[in-house]
């Protein structure tokens, strides 16, 4: 048992180290070059490939086929003992850092800005490495303790495999949600919930306490899947609020369709951005840097811009959304001009055309409202910012 837990610890550590090293290297490159390496891994082809990989792994969990490493590779790895698992875990840690975490969070943005402003690559890289290690501590604890708390192998393992199969399919849908419309994503979640409910025995005659209990859970999951499907057909896109298209906001009496988000003018190049800023002369402006593959951007859409207080506060503000989903030359030029490492980011411009604030990372409704109230002092103009680039 001690040997098993020791091996689990070192395997988990290899995964976390792979993630930490990737964060450090990608962060230093981002700070030096002004581009964010992880954004290059958000290509629809890359995301689709990873989604397909998770589907293949999920189907093997359901017993459709067995996935095994070719015998030639197995024999080669056997020469090195269990170390092969460590290298595999290390590689998976690298891939997870590049694919799963493409957005700029506040701590990551702070570390990148520290490197960019001080030029101290060693301290900046070390800060990013330690940041990733801290993020990996829960994974390390779970990975080390799993072998200790799990019971002995048996028939229950088939159920565990099925649960992991559903989780893998969920991860595949989560990946695809970055590149497909919200209604399509909601429809995929609906299909997963309906099929899961059937597999849980929603319509199977059972006797006894536990079988009937799981049958009831299966019926609930099946019903929720149907609800998701109805929401998708109505144009909904939110898993936690699938019937939102049918619900009018409180106090709204008009029969006109409701927009979930405030009205944004979408731009995709620096020229388009300055044209939009010129047309907004005399009004305060909020510039939102956004990408479809950015999870924190989607979170801001749901939790911040869809907040009633934020909507009211933004009624007199011109809203411009800079779409950098393509990660092309125009997107990189936009980020470079404003010294940003990636989305999400918010710029506030006062009525005379001067930028009064710049924030990177997720902005909650309360934080954004506070910034809208307070950040109205004198600061360099937007044109001055572009010249510094």
Backbone angles phi, psi at 153, to 5 degrees: -65, 150
For residue 98, pLDDT beyond 50: yes
Q: Which pLDDT band holds residue 248 (cuts at 50, 70, 90)?
A: low
Alpha helices (H) along the chain? 2-33, 44-61, 71-78, 83-99, 106-118, 121-149, 156-176, 182-199, 209-233, 270-279, 295-303, 308-313, 329-337, 365-374, 382-388
Residue pLDDT, tens place only, 153-173 = 566 677 777 888 898 899 889
Q: How confident is the model at residue 118 (pLDDT cuts 50, 70, 90)?
A: low
Residue extents of the structural domains in the chain: 2-150, 265-388
Does the model's pTM come out above 0.85?
no
Residues 6 or more apart in contact with residue 191 via CB below 8 angstroms: 225, 229
Q: How far apart are CA 206 and CA 53, in angstroms?
A: 35
Mean pLDDT, residues 218-243:
90
Structure tokens at 137: 């501590």
Q: What's the CATH code, domain 265-388?
A: 3.40.30.10
What pLDDT, on a 0 to 100 scale, did the predictor assign at position 255? 36
């Amino acid at each position: 048992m001690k040997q098993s837990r020791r091996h689990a610890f070192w395997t988990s550590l290899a995964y976390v180290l792979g993630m930490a090293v990737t964060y450090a290297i990608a962060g230093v490159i981002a700070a030096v070059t002004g581009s964010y390496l992880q954004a290059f891994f958000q290509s629809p082809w890359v995301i689709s490939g990873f989604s397909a990989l998770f589907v293949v792994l999920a189907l093997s969990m359901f017993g459709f086929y067995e996935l095994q490493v070719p015998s030639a590779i197995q024999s080669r790895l056997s020469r090195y003992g269990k170390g092969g698992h460590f290298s595999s875990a290390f590689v998976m840690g690298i891939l997870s850092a590049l694919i799963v975490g493409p957005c700029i969070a506040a701590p990551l943005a702070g570390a990148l800005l520290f490197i960019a402003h001080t030029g101290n690559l060693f301290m900046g890289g070390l800060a990013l490495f330690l940041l990733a290690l801290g993020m990996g501590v829960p994974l390390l604890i779970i990975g080390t303790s799993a072998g200790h708390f799990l019971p002995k192998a048996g028939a229950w393992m088939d159920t565990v495999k099925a649960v992991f199969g559903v989780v893998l399919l969920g991860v595949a849908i989560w990946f695809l949600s970055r590149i497909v419309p919200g209604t399509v994503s909601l429809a995929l979640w609906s299909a997963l919930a309906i099929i899961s409910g059937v597999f849980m025995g929603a319509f199977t005659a059972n006797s006894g306490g536990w079988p009937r209990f799981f049958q009831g859970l299966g019926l609930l999951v099946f019903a929720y899947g149907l609800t998701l499907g109805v929401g998708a057909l109505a144009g909904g896109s939110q898993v936690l609020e699938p019937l939102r298209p049918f619900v009018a906001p409180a106090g709204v009496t008009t029969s006109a369709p409701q927009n979930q988000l405030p009205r944004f003018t979408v731009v995709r190049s620096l020229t388009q951005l300055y044209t939009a800023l010129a047309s907004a002369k005399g009004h305060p402006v909020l510039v939102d840097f956004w990408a479809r593959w950015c999870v924190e951007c989607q979170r801001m859409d749901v939790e911040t811009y869809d907040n009633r207080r934020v909507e009211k506060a933004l009624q007199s503000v011109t809203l411009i959304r800079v779409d950098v989903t393509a990660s092309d030359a125009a997107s990189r030029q936009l980020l470079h001009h404003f010294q940003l490492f990636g989305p999400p980011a918010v710029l506030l411009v006062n009525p005379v055309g001067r930028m009064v604030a710049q924030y990177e990372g997720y902005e909650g409704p309360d934080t954004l409202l506070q910034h809208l109230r307070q950040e109205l002092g004198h600061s360099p103009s937007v044109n001055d910012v572009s010249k510094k680039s």
